């Protein structure tokens, strides 16, 4: 079954930091989709056929769907909880909320709501932390699989420094993760991420089990947190007195690799930066969360100069928006405070192909290359009266993108396609 999706089509083939030949824009473009995959992208006149069903999104922009590389599925009901920094925030709001995922029926209901929120905001793939309960990951994978939506997710492993309702043990964490990997990793578009929450909530015994899982399943991602907040770093190092620094805890347990996603990575020491670069470990920038929790200012330029690949992410519920556009908006401001720039082309590259490359998934998602899955977002830069007024003065594609980057949110998402299927009501 083929269909033609028509609009102004934009996709990236290189990082705008590296070269000016980085994107392809077709003012009168179209995307030919067959059975959920992209068959061709070209000018509309080159692809149109009388027998072909057609959806016309003109004058909107069509890009690859957005990718969110760090988000907490069980925190949909604690986003916007008042007045705390990281460790208080976890103890006061997050752990009690995650305990609810033990209750019958809660995780499936939240999984549906979560995936609807993602696609409403133009996000077609996310890397998600689930709760400690295997049922939470099971529910998320089941719901994503039913939508044919690519998720990377894992149940958190945590065996200390939290209420008993959200703790496992080293053995239980290993066994539950292993069973979920067997069941879900590579099932349709689902991928498993081994997920020791962070060093504070895992004993050395559990970290060793996480390392064993990573060795046994080198094809799985590993996700955790690193150096988000200064009190967190002090507490972490008191729990691992032998560690040379925070990263060394993950290093000692064999977790460093290009599959490792290190949420936040703000307050890093030179040795940590060097080891992340040498091992290809990824940093993940979470701007709305870093501002909301007062954690600090991510050094994108410094990490890039050191040779580290960074993703960008919402980190809901520490983050305050599901929108990758709002994430770019706050990211732009953090980098301003750092004396760095986030140009519109770099920004939109980052939330599409850039994040796909950070995940090593750019053959399937993040571009409009033939053979990729037809995960698409349709953007309306005149979605609000204020944006429409501003757009009247926009003369270039880059100006339009910057308006979306700063003023855009879910109202700018005219449509989202997951494997060729429209996820928002049409008409």
Contact set with Zn ion (CB under 5 A): 263, 315
Smallest distance, Å, CB 315 to Zn ion?
5
Among 304, 217, 288, CA closest to 255: 217
Beta-bridge mates of residue 191: 152
Comparing CB distances to Zn ion, the nearer of 207 and 286 is: 286
Smallest distance, Å, CB 130 to Zn ion?
12
- Distance, in Å, from the CA atom of 128 to the CA atom of 192, rounded to the nearest integer, reads 10
Reading the block at residue 120, the tokens are 């409403």
Comparing CB distances to Zn ion, the nearer of 89 and 240 is: 89
The continuous run of DSSP H or E covering 144 comes out as helix 134-147
- Distance, in Å, from the CA atom of 77 to the CA atom of 93, rounded to the nearest integer, reads 9
Exposure class string for 178-206: b at 16+ Cβ within 10 A, else e:
bebbeebbeebbbbbbbbbbbbbbbbbeb
Comparing CB distances to Zn ion, the nearer of 34 and 88 is: 88
Comparing CB distances to Zn ion, the nearer of 89 and 417 is: 89
Q: Where are the alpha helices (DSSP H) in 197-342?
A: 204-216, 230-239, 246-252, 270-279, 287-292, 300-305, 324-337
Smallest distance, Å, CB 112 to Zn ion?
22
Comparing CB distances to Zn ion, the nearer of 127 and 413 is: 127
Smallest distance, Å, CB 357 to Zn ion?
21
Residue 198, phi then psi, degrees to nearest 5: -170, 175
E strands, 35-175, in order: 37-43, 54-64, 66-72, 123-129, 151-154, 156-157
Comparing CB distances to Zn ion, the nearer of 32 and 351 is: 351
- Distance, in Å, from the CA atom of 261 to the CA atom of 392, rounded to the nearest integer, reads 40
Comparing CB distances to Zn ion, the nearer of 76 and 394 is: 76
Smallest distance, Å, CB 303 to Zn ion?
18
Among 224, 140, 219, CA closest to 185: 219
Smallest distance, Å, CB 305 to Zn ion?
25
Comparing CB distances to Zn ion, the nearer of 217 and 264 is: 264
Residue 346, phi then psi, degrees to nearest 5: -60, -40
Smallest distance, Å, CB 13 to Zn ion?
31
Smallest distance, Å, CB 167 to Zn ion?
18
């Amino acid at each position: 079954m083929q269909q033609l999706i028509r609009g102004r089509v934009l996709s990236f083939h290189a990082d705008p930091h590296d070269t000016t030949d980085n994107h392809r824009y077709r003012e009168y473009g179209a995307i030919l989709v067959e059975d959920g995959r992209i068959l061709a992208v070209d000018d509309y006149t080159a692809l149109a056929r009388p027998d072909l069903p057609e959806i016309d999104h003109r004058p909107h922009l069509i890009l690859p769907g957005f990718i969110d590389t760090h988000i907490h599925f069980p925190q949909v009901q604690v986003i916007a909880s008042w007045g705390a920094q990281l460790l208080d925030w976890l103890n006061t709001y997050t752990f009690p909320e995650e305990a609810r995922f033990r209750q019958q029926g809660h995780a499936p209901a939240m999984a549906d709501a979560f995936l609807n929120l993602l696609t409403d905001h133009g996000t077609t793939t996310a890397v998600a932390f689930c709760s400690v309960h295997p049922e939470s990951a099971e529910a998320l994978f089941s719901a994503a699989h039913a939508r044919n939506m690519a998720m990377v997710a894992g149940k958190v492993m945590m065996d200390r420094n939290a209420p008993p309702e959200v703790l496992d043990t080293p053995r239980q964490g290993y066994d539950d993760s292993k069973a979920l990997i067997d069941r879900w990793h590579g099932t349709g578009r689902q991928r498993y991420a081994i997920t020791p929450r962070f060093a504070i909530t895992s004993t050395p015994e559990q970290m060793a089990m996480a390392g064993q899982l990573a060795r046994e399943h080198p094809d799985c991602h590993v996700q955790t947190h690193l150096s988000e907040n200064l009190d967190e770093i002090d507490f972490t190092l008191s729990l691992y007195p032998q560690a040379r620094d925070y990263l060394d805890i993950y290093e000692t347990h064999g977790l460093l690799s290009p599959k490792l996603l290190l949420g936040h990575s703000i307050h890093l020491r030179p040795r940590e930066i060097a080891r992340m670069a040498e091992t290809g470990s990824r940093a993940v920038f979470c701007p709305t969360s870093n501002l909301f929790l007062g954690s600090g200012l991510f050094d994108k330029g410094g990490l890039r100069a050191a040779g580290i690949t960074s993703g960008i992410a919402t980190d809901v519920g520490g983050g305050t928006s599901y929108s990758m556009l709002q994430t770019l908006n706050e990211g732009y401001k953090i980098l301003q405070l750092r004396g760095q720039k986030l140009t519109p082309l770099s920004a939109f590259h980052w939330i599409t192909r850039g994040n796909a490359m950070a995940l090593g998934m750019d053959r399937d998602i993040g571009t409009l290359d033939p053979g990729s899955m037809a995960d698409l977002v349709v953007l309306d830069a005149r979605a609000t009266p204020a944006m429409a007024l501003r757009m009247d003065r926009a003369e270039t594609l880059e100006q339009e993108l910057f308006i979306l980057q700063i003023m855009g949110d879910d109202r700018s998402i005219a449509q989202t396609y997951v494997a060729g299927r429209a996820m928002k009501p049409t008409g």
